[in-house]
Structure 1
Amino acid sequence: MKCIYTALLFTMLFTYGQAQNTLEGTITSSDRNEALPMVQIYFPQLEKGAVSDDDGKFTMSGLPSGSYKIVASYIGYTTYSKTISIAQGKNFLNIELLPSAIEMEEVIVSTPFHKLQRENVMKVERADVTDLKAKGAITLSDGITNVPGVESLSTGLGIGKPVIRGLSANRVLVYTQGVRLENQQFGDEHGLGVSDAGIESIEIIKGPASLLYGSDALGGVLYLNPEKFAIAGETEGDVNLNYFSNTNGLAANAGIKSSGEKFKYLVRGSVASHTDYHTGDDVSVTNSRFGEYDLKAGIGYQTVKFKTDLRYNYNNLELGIPEELGERTNERSPESPYQEINNHILSSKTNLFFGRTSLEAILGYTFNNRKEFEEGEEGAALDMDLETFNYNLQYHLPKWGGLESIVGVQGMHQTNNNYGEELLIPDATTSDFGIFGTSHLHFQNNSDLQLGLRYDRRSIEGKEHGEVGEEGYIEALDRDFNSFNAALGYKWELLHRITGRLNLASGFRAPNLAELTSNGVHEGTNRYEIGNGDLRNEQNVQTDLSLEYKNEHIEIFVNGFYNRVNDYIFIEPNGETIESDAVFAYQQDDAKLYGGEIGLHIHPHPLDWLHLESSFETVTGKLDDDSYLPLIPANSWTNTLRTEFSEPSRWFESSYAYITLKSVFKQGNISTFETETDGYALLNLGLGAQLPLFNQKVDVRISGNNILNTDYVSHLSRLKTDGISNIGRNINLGISVPF
């Protein structure tokens, strides 16, 4: 590690005085040949950007020599994307933007080649956090359920974790600040644990991504993009306030960021507090209250051929574990049982540019402390520390025609230690190492081929706990897991209107400590869990086919998948009880999941401000004996009528309004220890505007979820077995003020 930082410091000093390459140009509209101001111009790989002035002109300096993708985006126009060569000295580029009623496209960061969605071989969903908040999302895990094919396994409001096409828990990998988020996520009641404050967007890979991320990416990846630094020479700040009627919830965050030619920084703090939520029957769910504190900060330094940034995130959560219904109170501090979670994430990202090649190094350290307090006991019954060090080194090979290639190594070293009276998993050490290569080939006929190969090895060593023959005994563990994985994808265009994507990828997941070693009562789930030390890798192969039709006024998409999972790990009751707790044991069997999403988006001319959106999603999961898998989301159909006005008026700079009806169908395809879940429909609506106040553009919004106050239970709610419904009507008021 010392050698790495010494080399980076030497490179920084060497490049400090390198020649300054610049890029100048003008942005115009192709239809009217008028200059376009406030257009965002950005080099994704360099993470440098600029904004065009009133005359449509822009200038960027400090650019390294070589070929890099440049992106220009502006509301009402098709996003411009092109790879250009930067030579020494002054460079010039004039850009014409084509009018379009389709929303602006953004660069996809979770895939390795920094392409727009339309250029990607792999289909990746992307959502802006500001859009999710505008729809009244209370938490980040609540907000992602607005993305087709994505749901949340929830315990009340404060605890939720992503479900991608029927797969969840350790099968879905979460990335934040460019590193793995490791926070004891093996438990169903262990939530996402990330604040939406300081998160700019979310990218979701729906399918095996082990080629890019290794173990635990068997079902997909939730990639959280942190807030960008300010453009060079700019200083920005904002304050955001939110109120939620159902929980008397208060949330606030404030941030400031500034960038010079070389140094830049940002900082954002947030706080949230919620009382118990009440259901559609206006019944309070006792101890569903929660509170959160969050701090995010970053500093960066950039020269011509070198850039680096260091980011830190501290998150504190106090989460009540709801177990019953009761009278509503205004208490905000949780009562027992409750969890207290502290999470520290420190990450660095460094890039070296060598002209035709580049090297990227991402290092991360995560410290997670999870405590659980039980009724009638002093101190924490559970007290677990998890320390994780991640590294990810990627070398971009020279481009050869339309061929781009990357080789890299990734790894992780992790230790788990227990300090409480109770123990769910033993003290253990986990080590990962992976090596991979991937290539993207662009053909002249606007088709693309992407392929890659990877090898991973994981070692897990767990310490013995307890006495042989006694309840709670865990024997020592020493297991190694390894896997080869490959991915192959092809994208083609037909008549410049239809885009097809066919992807075939394998993935794997090594069993986690809970699955291998459990032997005791898991209080959060009210059951006695027994692990299986002989569990093997889960290994899957998934086929994805997607078709998209798009013109200026209509978009249609159809996505289908078939996912074969060998040695699928699941837990089910064995019919026994220990001290009144049902015994659940971990087992393995082959499984399959299949389904997809279909959607329509109409924005008719000349009513370009009007948007009609409709999407349907379905997934079925079965074991090889034809029995159904547990915790598979019900089919759902979402319809939205939305208006957007981007042109300034007398009162507003811009405005929007929407009404959404989400229909969730009855879930009757259930496992042997589940019960059926009735269908329901939720009506949501909202509106917002950007107002010119005190020489600032202030965003105000109001939204209402479950407007009809429907009393319902989600099939993915862990409170369903206790007869507790989901949240009733909730009105959200929000304001964002820049300074």
Structure 2
Amino acid sequence: MKTFYMSLLLCLIVFTARSQNSISGTVTAAGSNEPLLAAIYIPQLEIGTETDLNGYYELKGIPTGTFTVVCSFLGYATYSEKFSFSGENTSLTIDIEMEESAVEMAQVIIAAPFHKLQRDNVMKVERLSVDELSKSGATTLSEGITTIAGVESISTGVGIGKPVIRGLSANRVLTYAQGVRLENQQFGDEHGLGLNASGTGSVEVIKGPASLLYGSDALGGVLYFNPEPFAAVGKTTADATATYFSNTQGYSFNAGAQTSGEKLKFLARVAYDAHSDYEAGDGTRVTNSRFNETDLKTGLRYQGNKVKSTFRYNYNRANIGIPEELGAQTTEKKPVEPYQEIDNHILSLENNHFFNNSSLDVKLGYIFNDRREFEEHEEGEPEEGPALQMKLNTLNYDVKYNLPDLGDFETIVGVQGMFQKNKNFGEEILIPDATVVDIGVLGTTHYHLEKIDIQAGLRYDIRKLDSDAAFTLEGEMFIPALERDFNSFNAALGAKFDIDKQLSGRVNLASGFRAPNLAELTSNGVHEGTNRYEVGNPNLDNEQNLQLDVSLEYGNEHVEIFANGFYNLVDNFIFILPTGEMIDDNFVFNYVQDDSKLYGGEFGLHLHPHPLDWLHLESSFQTVTGEMDNGENLPLIPANSIRNTLNVEFGANKFFKQSEAFVTLLSVMDQDNTSASELRTGGYSLVNLGASASLQLNATTVDLRFAITNIFNKEYISHLSRLKSDGIMNMGRNITGTVIIGI
């Protein structure tokens, strides 16, 4: 707690300064000297502007220090360069010439340290805007992220989706929202992501151990959801979105507004989604797969010359049916028993303090998760309260100091921690009342040379877990009290090198760890969501892994080719196995450990042939194999797949500001490499298509979107569907139509 109070004190420091540093200049196309309507941005400060019709820009209010200036414009390679502002009232003139590039418009990565562009990061990080995900026709955010190579989702119908990165899921994949660690009882198979796409700007994916940056539970990777940005200085904007989904007869509405002054910025957004039971390819509706969701997001920022302070709040209420078997065919949208009712509150406070040649970043987060599960009761009996209710309170902090640059070295040191308390209020207990305390210290440095960048880091973590006893000592479901301490050293070393102007490579070696969760340590009872009797193991050790990543990327003006390979050794991998016994008509499963390995990768190309500048062909292949040391296969390993997308850009005309269309063929192969508790899954192919257009009507922008997923109404079952064992198929054809109005 001492660290928390120190962090809170730092957050309350207010700096008053008179620095009025600025940059100005012009942005033109290399060779032609034609002015460009580009965006100028300083990611560390989150301030930016746009050029005028003559390509001129000016950006003021920059504190003393060294900052990266980024310039981007569609169709041109993103410009990125560091500049130093050595004293007060420094004014720099930076004229930028941008090179044409049909493939690359690189973005700044927030999930990795040092805020580099994608192409400059030592660690390979994928980034995709949520706007792009919505164009694909995805019904939910968890479905949308599966368009990223190497990312899949364990699904329970449509309303529940759990991310999978290269075969690892649950507590092995850490989710960040609003810059803080999201904790919402993610250990459960039927516990979904818990985030709504509205008010979310983009997602960044780290594939592989990221414990150096994020501590326990980042053994498999990180999903980092960036919130929508504030409006530019002096701007006030508003927008509203409406979407209809034919398959679920569902709808989604959201509306938001933003306003920004010189120093204060504010935004707010509200959303509501509702869906009926989804319809499989054979025309049958999957009973109780319905769900609805209410979401509210708001944010307030103070932007001074030497301090930036951002407060954000997100409330999410989800009512999600748990499908068990095919039954009554209805288009009702209110879930029936069994169902979950979940409240998530996320509060975050981020303070960035800028000194002459260094900076201090302090983040505080508070997450309150109230999970209620209602079971079926006999007809005629009065409806009772939730059978299971767990309230999880989590306070986390993250303090990082960016040291002054020492030559070509950039260095960050920091401390992170978490205090968490779980409390039961229902009749049933899935996991006992418990507290978890984390603390970790880290240091990482980046060394830049002309053709090679090297990054290295070291971290030490301690986790203390205390749980109370549950039920009576005489009862067969008795859960004894538990006190365990876990600790781990982790390190990372990587390099990015430019072989020539068009070919680059990356090599990364990193370790990660995951402390066993409460369910794995203490379970002793029926887990209704999985229909099995689970028995925990209080003697489980840390999962510890070591992963090697190698990647090559080739890109010129009209083609990009990439190959990413990985080999992941996981010691003490925790999994659940059936014992063959039964208790209360439920099969008994025990948590056990064994050393394991996973290997595979993602490979693909993006073709943009000259002179067909309006045509894009993207193709990617992903594969992962998971094996235990005893030769058996790991469970929940996604099938190999190939995704081919043909995209056509029509450009501006007298009707549309811009428009495009796409068609995608997703080919999923047989999954024969199954664990002892899984069934083989046959392969299938799905065809999706869509189109979008943007109109400018005076000061109003209207975006129109249309998409069809599974256009041929294919009957199929995904290997990662939790409904597979009951023979329940995935969603059939779904037509979505979206209208977005912005002013």
Determine the C-alpha separation between the residues in 1 that align with 2:474 and 2:170.
31
Tell me the residue number matched to 2:253: 252
Q: Which residue identity lines up with residue 54 of structure 1 in the other structure? A: L
- Range with greater deviation from structure 2 (466-475 or 696-705): 466-475
Tell me the residue number matched to 2:584: 579
Tell me the residue number matched to 2:655: 651
Determine the C-alpha separation between the residues in 1 that align with 2:124 and 2:10.
37
- Displacement of 1:329 in angstroms is 1.3
**2:496 equivalent to 1:474:** no
Deviation sequence 1:337-391 (CA, Å, 0-9, x none): 0000000000011011111110000000000000000011511000110000000
Tell me the residue number matched to 1:609: 614
Is the partner of 1:420 in helix, strand or coil?
coil
The 8 Å contact of residues 653 and 697 in structure 1, kept in 2 or not, is answered as: no
Deviation sequence 1:60-113 (CA, Å, 0-9, x none): 111101110111111111111111112421222111111111141110000011
Tell me the residue number matched to 1:404: 410
Tell me the residue number matched to 2:316: 315
Deviation sequence 1:577-606 (CA, Å, 0-9, x none): 001100011000000000011101100011
Tell me the residue number matched to 1:700: 704
Q: Which residue identity lines up with residue 18 of structure 2 in the other structure? A: Q
Determine the C-alpha separation between the residues in 2 that align with 1:135 and 1:326.
31
- Displacement of 1:2 in angstroms is 5.8
Is the partner of 2:286 in helix, strand or coil?
strand
Alignment of 1:339-418 (within 5 A): 339-376=340-377, 378-418=384-424
2:723 maps to which of 715, 719, 722: 719
Deviation sequence 1:30-75 (CA, Å, 0-9, x none): 13202112x1111111111111112211121111011101111111
Tell me the residue number matched to 1:596: 601
TM-score by length of 2: 0.98
Determine the C-alpha separation between the residues in 2 that align with 1:621 and 1:102.
33
Tell me the residue number matched to 2:380: none
Is the partner of 1:131 in helix, strand or coil?
helix
Determine the C-alpha separation between the residues in 2 that align with 1:416 and 1:293.
24
1:436 maps to which of 417, 420, 442: 442
Determine the C-alpha separation between the residues in 2 that align with 1:357 and 1:204.
27
- Displacement of 1:182 in angstroms is 0.2
Q: Which residue identity lines up with residue 24 of structure 1 in the other structure? A: S
Determine the C-alpha separation between the residues in 2 that align with 1:471 and 1:658.
58
Tell me the residue number matched to 1:220: 221
Tell me the residue number matched to 1:86: 85
The 8 Å contact of residues 101 and 556 in structure 2, kept in 1 or not, is answered as: no
Alignment of 1:323-342 (within 5 A): 323-342=324-343
Determine the C-alpha separation between the residues in 2 that align with 1:412 and 1:276.
38
- Displacement of 1:216 in angstroms is 0.1
Determine the C-alpha separation between the residues in 1 that align with 2:222 and 2:178.
14
Determine the C-alpha separation between the residues in 2 that align with 1:582 and 1:86.
67
Deviation sequence 1:166-193 (CA, Å, 0-9, x none): 0000000000001010001110000001
Determine the C-alpha separation between the residues in 2 that align with 1:148 and 1:227.
23
Residues 3 and 571 of structure 1: CA distance in aligned 2, closer, same or farther (over 3 Å) = closer
Determine the C-alpha separation between the residues in 2 that align with 1:242 and 1:121.
39
- Range with greater deviation from structure 2 (306-315 or 89-98): 89-98
Deviation sequence 1:541-567 (CA, Å, 0-9, x none): 000000111111111111110000000
Alignment of 1:460-539 (within 5 A): 460-539=465-544
**2:644 equivalent to 1:639:** yes
- Displacement of 1:472 in angstroms is 1.6
- Range with greater deviation from structure 2 (320-329 or 532-541): 320-329
Q: Which residue identity lines up with residue 80 of structure 1 in the other structure? A: Y
Tell me the residue number matched to 1:18: 18
2:429 maps to which of 420, 423, 429: 423
Residues 408 and 3 of structure 1: CA distance in aligned 2, closer, same or farther (over 3 Å) = closer
- Displacement of 1:6 in angstroms is 4.9
Q: Which residue identity lines up with residue 590 of structure 1 in the other structure? A: D
- Displacement of 1:248 in angstroms is 0.6
The 8 Å contact of residues 31 and 99 in structure 1, kept in 2 or not, is answered as: no
Residues 419 and 443 of structure 1: CA distance in aligned 2, closer, same or farther (over 3 Å) = same
**2:556 equivalent to 1:557:** no
Determine the C-alpha separation between the residues in 2 that align with 1:292 and 1:562.
39
Alignment of 1:30-41 (within 5 A): 30-37=30-37, 39-41=38-40
Determine the C-alpha separation between the residues in 2 that align with 1:205 and 1:139.
21
CA RMSD, Structure 1 to Structure 2 (Å): 1.1
Is the partner of 1:106 in helix, strand or coil?
coil
**2:151 equivalent to 1:153:** no
The 8 Å contact of residues 103 and 606 in structure 2, kept in 1 or not, is answered as: no
Determine the C-alpha separation between the residues in 2 that align with 1:60 and 1:597.
40
The 8 Å contact of residues 175 and 224 in structure 1, kept in 2 or not, is answered as: yes
Tell me the residue number matched to 1:46: 45
Determine the C-alpha separation between the residues in 2 that align with 1:6 and 1:630.
46
- Displacement of 1:694 in angstroms is 4.5
TM-score by length of 1: 0.98
The 8 Å contact of residues 283 and 326 in structure 1, kept in 2 or not, is answered as: no
Determine the C-alpha separation between the residues in 1 that align with 2:638 and 2:6.
49
Deviation sequence 1:613-644 (CA, Å, 0-9, x none): 11111000011011001110000011111112
The 8 Å contact of residues 521 and 529 in structure 1, kept in 2 or not, is answered as: yes
The 8 Å contact of residues 19 and 62 in structure 2, kept in 1 or not, is answered as: no
The 8 Å contact of residues 455 and 494 in structure 2, kept in 1 or not, is answered as: yes
Is the partner of 1:284 in helix, strand or coil?
coil
- Displacement of 1:471 in angstroms is 2.3
Is the partner of 1:710 in helix, strand or coil?
coil
- Displacement of 1:688 in angstroms is 0.8
The 8 Å contact of residues 11 and 362 in structure 2, kept in 1 or not, is answered as: no
Is the partner of 1:113 in helix, strand or coil?
helix
**2:695 equivalent to 1:691:** yes
**2:629 equivalent to 1:624:** yes
**2:191 equivalent to 1:187:** no
- Displacement of 1:27 in angstroms is 1.2
Determine the C-alpha separation between the residues in 2 that align with 1:114 and 1:457.
27
Alignment of 1:671-690 (within 5 A): 671-690=675-694
- Range with greater deviation from structure 2 (27-36 or 191-200): 27-36
- Displacement of 1:4 in angstroms is 4.7
Tell me the residue number matched to 1:62: 61
Deviation sequence 1:479-501 (CA, Å, 0-9, x none): 00000000000111112111110
Determine the C-alpha separation between the residues in 2 that align with 1:84 and 1:448.
19
- Displacement of 1:692 in angstroms is 2.3
Determine the C-alpha separation between the residues in 1 that align with 2:264 and 2:342.
33
Q: Which residue identity lines up with residue 567 of structure 1 in the other structure? A: N
Unpaired segments ≥5 residues, structure 2: 378-382
Determine the C-alpha separation between the residues in 2 that align with 1:489 and 1:3.
33
Residues 7 and 583 of structure 1: CA distance in aligned 2, closer, same or farther (over 3 Å) = closer
- Range with greater deviation from structure 2 (322-331 or 415-424): 322-331
Residues 229 and 544 of structure 1: CA distance in aligned 2, closer, same or farther (over 3 Å) = same
- Displacement of 1:7 in angstroms is 4.7
For these two proteins, the number of residue pairs brought into alignment is 733
- Displacement of 1:682 in angstroms is 0.3
Determine the C-alpha separation between the residues in 2 that align with 1:657 and 1:335.
39
Determine the C-alpha separation between the residues in 2 that align with 1:103 and 1:133.
21
Deviation sequence 1:511-564 (CA, Å, 0-9, x none): 000000000000000000000000000000000000111111111111110000
